[in-house]
Amino acid sequence: MIDRRHMLGTSALGLAGLMAGCAVPPLPRPGTADPAGGADLTANTGTSTGRPMPTPLIANLHERSFYYFWDTTDPATGLTPDRGPTPSFASIAAVGFALTAYPIGVENGWITRDQARTRTLTTLQFFAAAPQGDSQNDDSGFHGLFYHFLGTTKGHRFARAELSTVDTALLMGGVLFSQSWFDSDHPDEVRIRALAEQLYAAVDWAWIVPRPPFMAMGWHPESGFIPHDWNIYNEAMLLYILAIGSPTHALPPQTWDAWTSRFGAQWTDRWGGEPYIHFGPMFVHQYSHCWIDFRDIRDRYIATKGIDYFENSCRAVRAQRAYAIANPGGWTGYGADVWGLTASDGPGDFTATIGGRKREFFSYSARGPGDRDDGTIAPTAAAASFAFEPELSRQAIEAMHERYGANIYGKYGFLDAFNPTLTATKQPLKHGRIIPGAGWVDDDYIGIDQGPIVVMMENWRTGLVWKTMKRNPHIRRGLQRAGFTGGWLA
C-alpha cells in the first residue's frame, strides 16, 4: 500500500470565491480567477470520437480534474506536487498520472499536441538526467527506481522517503503511455520514445527482491530493504507486469503465478453477495486498470473463477456501495448514492464521542470495507470507478455534488475527502476544517486521487489509454509472460 504518512501540514483553501451554492461555474482557463456563481454547468465534452459524457457535471469534473495536473506541474521540470494548494513535495506517482493526462487533454481539446509534447519531453528529460545513487539526500533514485517523493527544487529525495517500487511502476505507466501515444516523426516525439525506453530499461526490478519471489515495497539508504513485500492481491498488478515484461532486468515469469496463488485468502462474497478478490480501499481496484484493459483477458488464476480482473473491480465497486447501504458503523451520509472508501486524507488521529458513541478518526489512511472506516468519504473512489460502473459512479457524483456542493467541489473538481459525521471537535485537525452543514472537509486535492478520475473517465469515453497501451510492446510482453491469454491479446 502506498505510504503517504510524510504529509506536510495543511493551509486553508478559500472555497467561498470558487463557487456559489451548488452550481458549477465555467471552468477558468489557466491564469484566470475562478468565477463565483453561475447557473450553467459548462465544460468541453470532448472533441475526439467517443461517447459524450452523460451529464454536464461529469464533463466538468473530468476537465477540472485534468487541470490539476496542467496547472500545478512545474513546466521547467515536469514535477507534479503530491497535493495542493498546501505547499507540497513532488510525487512520482502523480507525475505518472500527469504524463497520462496530457494526451487526454489533447484529445478533449483542452491543450494542444504541441503543449503536451513540450511538457512530456521536459518531464522525461528531467527524470533521465536525475542523479541515481545510494546517498541519503543527493539522489533522485537508485537502480533505475525513484524515490516516492522528490523535492521540488532539485528533484532529489524528499526527507526520508522510500525508494518505491509501486510508485515507480505508476510513473512508468505514464512513461510507457507517452512512448506509445507520441508516435509521429516529429523530432521531439522521436526523443520522447527514446527517453521512455531508456527510463524503463534502466529499472532493475530484479535487484529489489530480497525475499524471492516477491518484490519488496521499497528501500531506504539508511536501513536497506523495507521488510514488507508485494505478496497479496493489491495495486501491484501493473508493478509485476512491468517487472516481468522488462527487456533488461526481468523477474521470472513464474513470479506471477506465485503471487496469484496467494489470492485465495481474499476471495469472498462478504460484501454485496458477489464473490470477488477483496481488498478494502478502492484505489487497489483502480490503479492498474488505468493503463491496462483487463476486459476479456485472463491469467491462470482468474480463469478458474470464471471472470476477469475487470469484472473483479466491477464487483468491488458494487460491494463498496452495498457496504455503504448497510452502513454497519452508522456513519452519517452513507447510502445508495453516497459511498466511496479508499486511501485519503482524514480529520486527524483522535477519538471523539458523537451522539453518545465513541468514534475513532484518522488522518491520511487507507479505508474500506473490512479495513478502517471512520466515516470519511473520498469522491475519487466513486468517480474513478466510472469505467467499471458508469451509472453507479454518475449517481454518486451527482448526489455528492447536489448534497454538499461548493463545500466539497472547487477549482479542480472534488476535494480529496469529507466526513459528514464529524460536525464539531475540540481536537486539533491534521487536515481540513469543519464546515457547518457539511461536517469535516479536506482543504486539498491529491494527485494520485485526481489522476484515476481523469484516466478512467477517458477510458470509459474513448478507451484512449487502454487502446494506446495495447500497442506498447512492453505491456504486451509482460502480460503474455505472466500467462494472460484471450481477448485483445489473442
* pLDDT number for residue 8: 29
Q: What mean pLDDT, rounded, does the chain reach? A: 91
Q: Give the burial class of 467: count Cβ atoms within 10 A of its Cβ; 0-12 exposed, 13-18 middle, 19 or more buried.
A: middle
State how far the Cα of 21 lies from the Cα of 170, in Å rounded to an integer: 37
Determine contact, residues 271/453, Cβ cutoff 8 Å: no
The neighbouring-strand residues paired with 377 are: 418
* pLDDT number for residue 49: 77
Q: Return the CATH number of 56-489, one of 3.40.50.720, 3.40.1440.10, 3.40.50.11540, 1.50.10.140.
A: 1.50.10.140
Evaluate the CA torsion angle 250, 92, 149, 259 in order and state its sign.
Answer: negative
Q: Are strands 365-366 and 409-410 parallel, antiparallel or unpaired?
A: unpaired
**pTM tops 0.85:** yes
- Condensed to tens digits (0 to 9), the pLDDT of residues 236-290 reads 999 999 999 999 999 999 999 999 999 999 999 999 899 999 999 999 999 999 9
* pLDDT number for residue 48: 59
Note down pLDDT in tens along the chain; length 490 residues.
334 433 322 222 222 222 323 333 453 333 333 433 322 334 433 455 799 999 999 999 999 999 999 999 999 999 999 999 999 999 999 999 999 999 999 999 999 999 999 999 999 999 999 999 999 999 999 999 999 999 999 999 999 999 999 999 999 999 999 999 999 999 999 999 999 999 999 999 999 999 999 999 999 999 999 999 999 999 999 999 999 999 999 999 999 999 999 999 999 999 989 999 999 999 999 999 999 999 999 999 999 999 999 999 999 999 999 999 999 999 999 999 999 999 999 999 999 999 999 999 999 999 999 999 999 999 999 999 999 999 999 999 999 999 999 999 999 999 999 999 999 999 999 999 999 989 999 999 999 999 999 999 999 999 999 999 999 999 999 999 999 999 999 9
- Condensed to tens digits (0 to 9), the pLDDT of residues 413-448 reads 999 999 999 999 999 999 999 999 899 999 999 999
* pLDDT number for residue 437: 87
Q: In the chain, what percentage of residues exceed pLDDT 70?
A: 90
Domain parsing of the chain, residue ranges: 56-489
State how far the Cα of 462 lies from the Cα of 456, in Å rounded to an integer: 10
